[in-house]
Structure 1
Amino acid sequence: MTIYAKDNLFFIHSLDFSIILENYHDYLMVRHIGKKISTYRHSNLLIDKDHAFSPAPFAENRTFSLDSQRQILGQSGMGDFRVPSIILANKENQLSDFKFKDYKIYQGLPDEKSLPFPYDEQDSTQSIVFTLEDKLLNLTLEIHFSVYENSSTISTYRKIINKSNKSYKIKKFDSFMIDVQPHDYQFITFQGAYGREKEMVSETLKQGIHSIASTRGASGHGQTPSLIVAENKVNDHYGECIAVQLMYSGNFHMTIQKNQLREVRISTGFESTMFEWLLESGQEFASPTTVINYSSEGLNKLSQISHHFILNHIMPSKFSNQIRPILLNNWEATYFDFSFDKLISLAEKAKHVGIELFVLDDGWFGNRFDDNRALGDWTVNEDKLSGGLENLISSIHQMDMQFGIWFEPEMISVDSHLYRTHPEWVIGAKGRQNIYSRNQLVLDLSNPEVVSYIKDTIDHFLTNYKIDYVKWDMNRNITNVGNYSSLSENLMQSHKYMLGLYEILDYLTEKYPDVLFESCAGGGGRNDLGIMRYFPQVWTSDNTDAVSRIQLQKDMLFLYPTISMGAHVSAAPNHQTGRSTSLETRNHVAMMGNLGYELDLTTMSDNDIYQIKEAIKTYKSIRATIQLGQVTRLETPHPTNEYAKQFVSDDMVVVTYNKILSDVEFSESVIRLKHLEPQASYIDQSQRVYSAEELMILGITMPVKQMDFYSRQIILKKIKEN
């Protein structure tokens, strides 16, 4: 990886990924984004041309137009009719004209503190900052790029600095924008809904503006702040593709535009209808970071590059390679109806089958007997937990298990002591009625008093109790934003909320570095790189149905690593779908993530308990390969009905095959493995030995089973030949 400047060109090289920019008429133009090019001599030069009366900034040169040049900054009203990436409002207009002023190449990462940012413990990162200036407005714009050793990833963000004696309203401020050359593209987004998060959606790019966005105050169940742009022939094993991921957990947009000249613009940043920022004289404002990954070898390679970067530069380093404990969460076992004795009996069964972490979910505090009350009253309910929380925790620890607990700190119930004391702490527009979801309101994290309250509340529990794991929930989105007296202040509130949240998370995770935090937002409603910077584990979805989880977990692993993904075995029929699947299938599916259980072990048969005990024993033997190994999606003959996923470490391969529905009159499916050591041999559970070549070239035959929801797990260990 290296960054350098030569002949008015700027080369930003990562391991196998390059961005090449040019200072052209004092504007930064894109000459290349894609596979690394060591030597560039303008073979793809864009010819200046008067395209149907294109607007030109120079009267003497009708051929140069910002509307037809490939740029990294789209400005409004100055001749570029594509989607702008920055809009600034003053008293007269919304025009800006930032031009190149200077650049600086430096070692290390930018020193930004207010938003989640990648890190580099090896201190080997190299960065470049381009300084642009609008002389009329007296504003400076910085565009930073960073490259990382042994990574095909480039990160970027932007900062605007007000050097004038005036104030400006930032109406739009994208974290990243780039124009790429015309091509036959497809674009991939990850959408869905509650209970079916991260559904991969692939579309052919046609002329027009295509966008996903969230105005929910969170990244949301139905959309993910990521976008993959790929050549149309791409698949898991072939083709060029670029992933753009915004490191932010609030309102966002991801946009791709193909204009009438077939030029393609990619951009991401704050969702603009719910955003504005007042930039006073002398102030500066930074965007979130955007992470850009590139692969020339298909989508599987892109996934692996993204996983590598997250583990080494985003996820808290203490946990990025730390094996996750197998847990039991009491939620679907008891819901709100539990006692100290019931929890202890669950824990004893958990210990018996080999579970390592017991998690106490909702209902342990205040007058919390259902979801209509007590959020905000974080005092232990002694009636439920006789002897208090300390008694339960010490009992769990005496069983040689870790203890975890559930919080929902950002929310409040009207029926709570906190609301009766501080009704002004909730988000709500003055004069308007409250808007409820699950009978909850949202605390206003743009208010420093609320931020201090949440810090102190969680601080109390983590200081005074021996808590090993925290499940941090957020079960509704933000509505009725309007606590302030002016429109401008209220449009700033959603981002200020995120700044308050990040301040809390930064404080708690730095003070309690040994606590494993898991993010939950009604399942996967806030599952993004911003939250992952603090929370190394995410509850993937409230939908624990094994069949649903096959696709859901597959799509999450497109960009996020296995070790970030919570995956639980629950009861059958499933509580969300009503579907019944075998315990073996439920075990196999959950074992493709961080294994956990969410059912009542005390009511299960001896045979089921034995199966769970054996599954946990198996998982412990393969856990390092699953959580830390290289993940590959394998090809299947019937990809809408069959799924196969492979995990590889130095000495082990784990393959899980799932077939959703039984069928007739098809040949047996053959699954070919990938990325094995070519000269090695591998032995499976039945002691059969295979060569790596036959496993990769011929594959493994899957038996035809006359049953729905079939699952097979294959464990192969590498052996040394005599």
Structure 2
Amino acid sequence: MLIHTNLEKQQFHLSNGKVSYIFQVMKNGHLGHLYYGKALRHRSDFSHLQTYDVPTAASCHVYEDDPAFSLETLRQEYPAYGNSDFREPAISVGKDNAPNVPDFKYDSFRILEGKPRLEGLPATYSDKASTIQILLKDEFLQAELTLNYTIFQDKPVITRSASLKNYGTENLVIDRMMGASVDFPDKDFIFTHLSGTWSRERHVKERRLEMGNQSISSLRGASSHHHNPFLALKRLEATEHTGEVFGFNFVYSSNFIMQVEVDHYDTARLTVGIHPFGFKWNLLPHEVFQTPEVVMVYSNKGLNGMSQAFHSLYRENLIPAHWRKEKRPILINNWEATYFDFNEDKLVKIAKSASELGIELFVLDDGWFGKRNDDTSSLGDWHVDLTKLPNGLESLAKKTSNIGMKFGLWFEPEMISPNSELYREHPDWAVGTPHQRTFGRNQLVLDFSRPEIVDYLYKEMADIIKLTKLSYIKWDMNRNITEAFSQKLASNQQGEFFHRYILGVYSLYERLTSEFPHVLFESCAGGGGRFDPGMMYYAPQAWTSDDTDAIERLKIQYGTSFAYPIYSMGSHVSAVPNHQTLRTTPLLTRANTAYFGTFGYELDPLTLSEEEREEIKGQIVFYKNHRDLIRDGLFYRLLSPFLNNEAAWMVVSQDQSEALVGYYKVLATPNSPKQQTLRLSGLNETAAYSVAGNNQAYYGDELMQVGLQLPTEFNGVNGKSAERGGDFQSHVFYLRSIDIGEKDKRME
């Protein structure tokens, strides 16, 4: 049993042996929070976990004869403002000409096996889970609030969302509605999040909680390069592999806020949801508003334990079912090879040369449509440019197929160029006020809050998929939304625009992925500007960053791994000097970084030397041999590039029989220590492991406690014996467990 109920005490305990979440109905009918953390043994009554503080002169209280019952000091499940609680609420909803002081009281509950879908929204799914829905009512508003809690059978994961139904005859206006709210009993946490900007996304940032509000957010119409919708609260003593961590991820791809408010009693309230700024939803009679889902992970094994729980959940319970075990093809993208300057003959030569290397998918990027010779025109005109491809896309697709490669295309369906046939025909389809529009990358945004525009894009894309038998689509979004105004929404509905926009994006994804389940979608937003679980529900991988520099990618991929599986990260070997940093790194290091992702290439194979071609052939064979391990294995972070001149990580198979270890040193250091080892994680302590290229065998406990011996580094005089040196070093080790006979031989 995953959900225990006490009808007499009106208490609810979600527990699976890994995590417990406990709440109850308080005497005023609101829900009180009792506990969230490591699994507790169930007992008949948890009332003692909620304490009623001695009232102070400054406190307001609900009951005249009970000054200790103040919502200002009580931990709550889904608080509202104004009923003696002055902290920021989870919900604010009201009627015209009435104050927004909702008073939702407990009505009933029901338990469902499995996890129901969220209508129109991406969300996790599972049959091995239980869900409890708590129904609360506000008689004045004539509204029903449903709180959804799902606990997974085998993961330290609870998901939450909320829905509001207007069962009255008057319109309601929602101006704040969070997906989840959690009241913690203290503030002894480190606020850990992923922030950055274009080409340096998801850098790890930490700060200690202090009194006041600490938040991350986006108002860009996308989850953004700048703040990922992920937040971890880790205990002060927690490390990468030890201690308590509470992780939160918002399954949403538009404006969001994740906030922790520390009050004057040093307690902490976390809220996660759609950003309330500019949000105002008109809830008509009999309509329902559903919030996006919040994923909550508990770990008592540090940040890495939290990450592994997120990875497992997203691999098994979020990405499209077809892609859970399907091998992702190794691709080559023509963008950095040709930019806009190509024709069919050039592309076919690139594809043929790439196929000879062992690459499996050729992707034609920007520039194939309209009159697109630079980034100033043609977005929205999704018909082939016959001056570049006079035989059409179908011919190129067939020739690519005849070479033995799959064929993929780049689209930017959410955008429109002012210099386009589509804009000249439908200028009102662009987002923006009639008197003002800000440009970004010479383009405007299509109004996806309008179903007719979504229908238009669906037909355009579906026709091309059928015509070319596409295997892959890179869905890009290269600018954020400004002047958020729809010419079709009424003036009192403009506050609904951002949410309606992303619902339109989700609906197009839903239609395309349902009709073409075998097409691999890779999401992109100027690189990593919309890398979030909302996108991952439709597109099992995302272009991690436009920055393909191997050294910068150490930080980007390390940070991304806090919440997202490495097999969701588009990671490619690109040309040097790198097009984003002008840094020149060895081909070996570029591949050693890119292996820990979906793997591919962003270069012109026609310009490679024979030596480089042979090296790339070896890289591709290596990746093909290990991509099942990379897809399904447990990921461990070993050395942080944010703290060291080195970085390291590893993937261990579920049965601990094999592992892949990546080690990187950014800059050379003079006269390095003679003994250099890397301590590993996740191995079987009693198993013996061989290391490819090494005739020795090592026990798992030795590799984790003493470490794996790194190749000898150049120290200024040992040139003949040194195995590595210089800047931008890297090495990937393959470990496998060995049988008794082989072990005895190697350990003699």
Q: Structure 1-normalised TM-score?
A: 0.97
Distance 1:635 1:420 in 2: 54
Alignment partner of 1:522 out of 526, 536, 546: 526
Determine the C-alpha separation between the residues in 2 that align with 1:52 and 1:461.
70
1:654 and 2:673 correspond: no
Does residue 719 (structure 1) correspond to residue 738 (structure 2)? The answer is yes
In the alignment, which residue of structure 2 is the partner of 1:643?
Answer: 647
Structure 2 equivalent of residue 435 of structure 1: 438
Partner-residue secondary structure (3-state), 1:610: helix
Which of the numbers 663, 671, 694 marks the counterpart of 2:669?
663
Contact 1:251 1:274 in 2 (8 A): no
Q: Distance in 1 between matches of 2:195 and 2:642?
A: 23
Q: 1:44 Cα shift?
A: 3.8
Instruction: Tell me which residue corresponds to 2:19.
Output: 17
Q: Is the 8 A contact 1:683 1:719 kept in 2?
A: yes
Matches within 5 A, 1:517-666: 517-635=521-639, 639-649=643-653, 650=655, 651-666=657-672
Match of 1:342 in 2: 346
Deviation at 1:183, TM superposition (A): 4.3
Q: d(CA) in 1 for partners of 2:203 and 2:672? A: 28
Which amino acid in 1 is paired with 2:118? Answer: E
Contact 2:634 2:652 in 1 (8 A): yes
Deviations 1:336-363 (A, max 9, x none): 0011111111111111111011111001
Question: How far apart are the structure 2 equivalents of 1:157 and 1:358?
Answer: 40
The answer to whether the aligner puts 1:62 opposite 2:67 as a matched pair is: yes
Q: Equivalents in 1 of 2:235, 2:640: separation in Å?
A: 22
Partner of 2:720: none
Amino acid in structure 2 at the alignment position of 1:709: F
**Is the Cα contact below 8 Å between 2:190 and 2:234 reproduced in 1?**
yes
The partner residue of 2:152 within 148, 153, 164 is 148
Cα distance between partner residues in 1 of 2:116 and 2:60: 36
Q: Which residue of 2 aligns with 1:678?
A: 685
Does residue 130 (structure 1) correspond to residue 134 (structure 2)? The answer is yes
The match for 2:32 among 13, 25, 29 is: 29
> Residue in 2 aligned with 1:264?
268
Q: Which stretch has the larger CA shift, 87-96 or 559-568?
A: 87-96
Aligned residue for 2:740, secondary structure, equals coil
Structure 1 segment 356-395 matched on structure 2, within 5 A: 356-395=360-399
Matched, 1:71 2:79: no
SS at match of 2:571: strand
Residues 1:697 and 2:702 aligned together: no
Q: Deviations over 1:215-236 (max 9, x none)?
A: 1111001011111111011111
Q: Could you tell me how far apart the structure 2 residues matched to 1:297 and 1:645 are? A: 17
Q: In structure 2, how many angstroms separate the alpha carbons of the residues matched to 1:692 and 1:168?
A: 61
Shift of 1:27: 1.6
Amino acid at match of 1:169: V
Q: Are the equivalent residues in 2 in contact too, given 1:56–1:62 (CA < 8 A)?
A: yes
Cα displacement string for residues 123-150 of structure 1 (whole angstroms, at most 9, x for unaligned residues): 2321111111111211111001011221
Describe the SS at the equivalent of 2:80. Answer: coil
Asked whether 1:105 is paired with 2:111, we answer yes
| Residue identity in the other structure for 1:57 | V
Q: Report SS of the residue matched to 1:272.
A: coil
Residue pair 1:8, 1:22 contacting (<8 A) in 2 also: yes
Question: How far did 1:321 drift?
Answer: 2.1
Shift of 1:74: 1.9
RMSD: 1.5
1:216-615 pair list within 5 angstroms: 216-430=220-434, 432-484=435-487, 486-615=490-619
CA contact (8 A) 1:14 1:154 kept: no
Deviations 1:516-564 (A, max 9, x none): 0000100011111111101111000000000000110011111101111
Aligned with residue 83 of structure 1, among 85, 88, 91: 88
| Cα displacement (A) at 1:488 | 2.5
The alpha carbon displacement at 1:643 in A equals 0.8
Q: Which runs of 5+ in 2 are unaligned?
A: 715-724, 742-748
Q: Displacement, 1:621?
A: 1.4
> 2:554, 2:641 within 8 Å by CA — same for their partners in 1?
no
What residue number does 2:717 align with?
A: none
Q: Is the 8 A contact 1:190 1:198 kept in 2?
A: yes
Which amino acid in 1 is paired with 2:502?
A: M
CA distance in 2, matches of 1:716, 1:214: 42
For 1:412 and 1:15, locate their aligned partners in 2 and report how far apart those are by CA, in whole Å: 51
In structure 1, distance between residues paired with 2:494 and 2:641: 53
Equivalent residues of 2:117, 2:125 under 8 A apart: no
Q: What do residues 163-195 of structure 1 show as CA deviations (whole Å, max 9, x unaligned)? A: 111111100000100101114111111110001
CA distance, structure 2, for counterparts of residue 56 and residue 517 of structure 1: 53
Q: Whole-Å Cα distance in 1 between the matches of residues 417 and 640 of structure 2?
A: 49
| TM-score, normalization by structure 2 | 0.94
Q: Quick check: 659-668 or 295-304, which moved more?
A: 659-668
In structure 2, what is the Cα distance between the partners aligned to 1:183 and 1:218? 30
- How far apart in 2 are the matches of 1:47 and 1:79? 14
Residue 578 of structure 2: SS of its match in structure 1?
Answer: coil
- 1:451–1:504: 8 Å Cα contact kept in structure 2? yes
Match of 1:53 in 2: 58
Q: Find the aligned partners of 2:17 and 2:297 in 1 and give their Cα distance.
A: 11
Aligned to 1:3: 3
Cα distance, 1:111–1:558 mapped onto 2, change above 3 Å: closer
- Identity percentage of aligned residues: 38
Aligned to 1:66, the other structure's residue is in SS state coil
Deviations 1:554-581 (A, max 9, x none): 1111110111111011111100011111
Aligned partners of 1:610, 1:274: CA distance in 2, in Å? 56
- Cα separation, 1, equivalents of 2:699 and 2:177: 55
From the superposition, tell whether residues 15 and 444 of structure 1 become closer, same or farther in structure 2 (CA, over 3 Å).
farther
Q: Conserved in 1, the CA contact under 8 Å of 2:217 and 2:275?
A: yes
Counterparts of 2:248 and 2:542 in 1: how far apart (Å)?
A: 20
**1:314 Cα offset (Å):** 0.7
In structure 2, relative to structure 1, the CA distance for the partners of 1:253 and 1:633 (3 Å cut) is: same
In the TM superposition, structure 1's runs of 4+ consecutive aligned residues that sit over 6 Å from their partners are none
The answer to whether the aligner puts 1:174 opposite 2:178 as a matched pair is: yes
Question: How big is each residue's C-alpha offset from its partner over 1:464-483, in whole Å with a ceiling of 9 and x where there is no partner?
Answer: 22110000010001111122
Q: Secondary structure at the match of 1:594?
A: coil
For the residue of structure 1 that corresponds to 2:259, the secondary structure is strand
User: 1:309 and 1:111 mapped to 2: Cα distance?
Assistant: 16
Separation in 2 of the partners of 1:582 and 1:597?
Answer: 14
* More off after superposition, 13-22 vs 632-641: 632-641
How far did residue 453 of structure 1 move?
0.4
What CA distance in whole angstroms lies between the structure 1 residues aligned with 2:707 and 2:672? 17
Q: Give the deviation of 1:42 after TM superposition.
A: 4.8
Q: CA deviation at 1:385?
A: 1.7
Kindly report which structure 2 residues correspond to 1:196-211, keeping only aligned pairs within 5 A, or say none: 196-211=200-215
Asked if 1 retains the 8 angstrom alpha-carbon contact of 2:522 and 2:541, the reply is yes
Q: Which runs of 5+ in 1 are unaligned?
A: none
Question: Within 1, Cα distance between the matches of 2:554 and 2:172?
Answer: 49
Q: Are the equivalent residues in 2 in contact too, given 1:427–1:444 (CA < 8 A)?
A: yes
| 1:194–1:221 Cα contact (<8 Å) kept | yes
* Residue 637 to residue 367, structure 1, CA distance change in 2 (3 Å): closer
Q: Aligned pair in 2 of structure 1 residues 622, 124: CA closer, same or farther (>3 Å)?
A: closer
SS where residue 538 of structure 1 aligns?
Answer: strand
Distance 1:609 1:566 in 2: 22
Letter in 1 for 2:31: L
